[in-house]
Structure 1
Amino acid sequence: MAATLTVALEQGRWDVAALCLALGVVEAAAALPPDSLEALLALLQQGDDGRGRAARAD
C-alpha cells in the first residue's frame, strides 16, 4: 500500500492518496483493543477545542 500512496502523491491523485490513508487508519484501528478504540473515537469526536467536533478551516 505504501507504493500506491507514493505513486498517488507523485501524480497528484489526491483521491487515491486519501483512500490509502483512510485504509491505513482502518487497519490500525482494527488492531486496537476494544477499549483503546473507544477512547480513540471519543478523542477524535472531541476535536481540537474539546467542545465537540472540530470546526473545519476552509
Structure 2
Amino acid sequence: MAYVITDTCISCGACEPECPVSVISAGDDKYVIDAAGCIDCGACANVCPVDAPIAE
C-alpha cells in the first residue's frame, strides 16, 4: 500500500519536507507521491491541512 494525494490538495507544500524518503514533489496542479518509493509512514497525511494524502 502507498499514499496518494487526492484532488483536495491545495499545493501548500506542507507534506514535502515531512517525507522521510523524499518521494513527494510538486506536480502541475497538486503535489504527487511516487508510489514506488512510498514507505506508507503517513507523515504527509499527519501535516496536511486538507487531508489530501490517503492510503491507497
Q: Is TM (by shorter chain) over 0.5? A: no
Which structure has more helix as a fraction of its residues?
1
Which structure has more strand as a fraction of its residues?
2
Which TM-score tier does this pair reach, normalised by the shorter chain?
A: under 0.3
Give the TM-score, by structure 1 length.
0.24
